[in-house]
Structure 1
Amino acid sequence: MEASPMNLCNLPPWAIASRHFNAHPQSLEIQGVRQANRLLFERLAALDNPIERGAQFHDYMDVTFQLHQWAQETSAKGRKSLKNSYLRFLRGWMFDANSLEGAVLKGWVESRFGLPPTFHREPIRDIHSEAYYLYMIDRMKGSARTSAINSQFDVLFEFAQTELGRRHPGISHLTLYRGINDFDEHMVLEQLGKHDYLLRLNNLNSFTNDFERAWEFGSKVMRTEVPLAKIVFQGDLLPSSLLKGEGELMVIGGEYQVKVLTGG
């Protein structure tokens, strides 16, 4: 499915989705997020401990989006909207990427980076298909009763990019793995060799930095080089008391050259 002609990013969708971007990545920024949250990034820059930075980030989100005030709400809808924070959606994604939470996160990628999903419960070939319509229903259901959830994801992405840059200075890519059984969720654009493919990955994907763990999720493992700029979140960026997702990374899709490894 073609990228949207519009997004809220500093680069056009077609560039972000291209194999050339992955080979020569540039920084991705969502318009206005760093400027609007300047105080957060100044505080993070002053902290040397990554655990303290993760806690500082969550405290900032808690106050900025009033996530801690759900108990004071007089209506059930008000309480639920504040409890449905970015953490709930991260947990939902990690449990099932085709859940309502998964649809909301894919919708955020679509709105910010201009890349529509190519899979949600089933392949999505174009925006006029029944599959896209059903994805949009999940996206709207999941977004209901939330407190500015897309804005929460915006700040989360910019935090993740800042933190990854500090943890991997001078590094542009990470070698990541994804367990698969087949290519149902991804479009094969070209077979480059016996085990090498050019794929169009879904607009948001789960990967791991643990080769052995990837085998838990399929009979084959895809290995690819992922630009840091395309990593939306990594499970250990937040204190384990908030989120247990060590080793899992959420990656923006597009065209990726992958090697498929088989057992035996």
Structure 2
Amino acid sequence: MDDGPDQPHRWYSTNLVGVPAPVLASTGFNAHPTRLAIAGVRETQAGLFALLDRSHDLNEAGDMFVHYLATAFGLRKPEPQALAAMGPAEQRRWRSSWRTLLQGWGMDANGPAGAVLKGWVESRFGLVPSYHKAPLERFPSLAWVGYLEEKAASRHHSNNILQQLDLLYEFCQWALRRFPLPGSAAPSEHLQLWRGSNRCEEQLIQGSLQMRRCTVRLNNIVSFSLSPEDAACFGDWVFEARVPACKVLVFPGLLPGHVLRGEQEVLALGGDYEVVARYA
């Protein structure tokens, strides 16, 4: 893998979590993570988290969170009569929500929704994406232009969508510290997760697949699965990884409704991961 200074993972970017991006992307951070918080989110939404602290279980907390976002960002779709009275631009605003963004990711991680999510990670955590439809290598390139266009397009990038994602991340972190992941006995600093992949050679940065234990460089936001069987549906190789809880954005059961639940998908920040690889 080319490791020159013009590679995206070598770029330095500011972030809002107080941990330098190269450190956040490293295997060292994954082994010894620290809690992360997006600057200002908890402070400006103290009422929401005070309300969440009174919840008795994750289902109740999830309902509270969804209701709060629907109120704060006007996510409830108006009645047909009221909607018809709005202009086309105002009607389109109702599609810009955290839920439609995650649904778009579930359909195609390299589509417009995926670009917005990768852009959110880039702006909040300083992690530059390495892939969107094609490798994002030297800038400028056609691949980079396509990614930047989709990242800024109004189809998903409106209605304060980045602030919605900020709240989603902080809610997920609150939930992981208070409740165990489904199937776990207690909250943990790490989650044992699996990821299916077909692009193994270009992700490999240390070791070899034949040695089983190796280091791979993942995109700035990626999907993991809760079991190796689920992960095997997404690639010929399955990577087993210990993912820091502080890097998780969404996990099954966090939110009401069918949000990435069918594939038992965990959405987490990427970077360099030490993994155990096996052929599916």
TM over 0.5: same fold? yes
Distance in 2 between the 1:89 and 1:113 partners? 19
Q: Which amino acid aligns with 2:261?
A: G
**1:214 has 2:231 as partner:** yes
Please, which of 80, 83, 87 is the counterpart of residue 99 of structure 2? 87
2:241 equivalent in structure 1:
224
User: Aligned pair in 2 of structure 1 residues 158, 143: CA closer, same or farther (>3 Å)?
Assistant: farther
Distance in 2 between the 1:145 and 1:97 partners? 15
1:55 equivalent in structure 2:
63
SS of 1:9's equivalent in the other structure is coil
Q: Do the aligned partners of 2:97 and 2:156 also contact (CA within 8 Å) in 1?
A: no
How many angstroms does 1:145 deviate by?
6.1
1:8 equivalent in structure 2:
16
SS of 1:89's equivalent in the other structure is helix
Please, which of 51, 58, 68 is the counterpart of residue 76 of structure 2? 68
Q: Do the aligned partners of 1:220 and 1:260 also contact (CA within 8 Å) in 2?
A: yes
Distance in 1 between the 2:259 and 2:199 partners? 29
Distance in 2 between the 1:115 and 1:212 partners? 29
Distance in 1 between the 2:127 and 2:157 partners? 25
Aligned residues, how many?
261
Distance in 1 between the 2:140 and 2:35 partners? 32
Distance in 1 between the 2:134 and 2:222 partners? 14
Distance in 2 between the 1:205 and 1:225 partners? 14
Distance in 2 between the 1:154 and 1:203 partners? 16
Q: Which amino acid aligns with 1:258?
A: V
Please, which of 162, 187, 194 is the counterpart of residue 211 of structure 2? 194
1:98 equivalent in structure 2:
110
**1:135 has 2:135 as partner:** no
Please, which of 41, 59, 62 is the counterpart of residue 49 of structure 2? 41
How many angstroms does 1:128 deviate by?
2.9
Please, which of 129, 134, 142 is the counterpart of residue 122 of structure 1? 134
Q: Which amino acid aligns with 2:270?
A: G
How many angstroms does 1:59 deviate by?
0.3
Q: Do the aligned partners of 1:177 and 1:207 also contact (CA within 8 Å) in 2?
A: yes
User: Aligned pair in 2 of structure 1 residues 17, 143: CA closer, same or farther (>3 Å)?
Assistant: farther
**1:243 has 2:251 as partner:** no
Of all paired residues, the percent bearing the same amino acid is: 34
Distance in 2 between the 1:75 and 1:108 partners? 28
How many angstroms does 1:102 deviate by?
0.3
How many angstroms does 1:142 deviate by?
5.1
Unaligned runs of 5+ in 1: none
Q: Deviations over 1:209-235 (max 9, x none)?
A: 122111111122111100000001113
2:251 equivalent in structure 1:
234
Q: Deviations over 1:186-242 (max 9, x none)?
A: 5321116711221111000000112211111112211110000000111320113x5
How many angstroms does 1:9 deviate by?
1.5
Q: Do the aligned partners of 1:191 and 1:198 also contact (CA within 8 Å) in 2?
A: yes
Unaligned runs of 5+ in 2: 1-7, 181-185
Q: Which amino acid aligns with 1:132?
A: W
User: Aligned pair in 2 of structure 1 residues 113, 142: CA closer, same or farther (>3 Å)?
Assistant: same
Distance in 1 between the 2:221 and 2:229 partners? 22
**Which piece of structure 1 moves more, 189-198 or 157-166?**
189-198
Distance in 2 between the 1:3 and 1:206 partners? 23
- What root-mean-square deviation, in Å, do the aligned CA atoms of Structure 1 and Structure 2 show? 1.8
User: Aligned pair in 2 of structure 1 residues 225, 31: CA closer, same or farther (>3 Å)?
Assistant: same
Q: Do the aligned partners of 2:112 and 2:156 also contact (CA within 8 Å) in 1?
A: no
SS of 1:10's equivalent in the other structure is coil
User: Aligned pair in 2 of structure 1 residues 10, 180: CA closer, same or farther (>3 Å)?
Assistant: same
Q: Do the aligned partners of 2:178 and 2:187 also contact (CA within 8 Å) in 1?
A: no
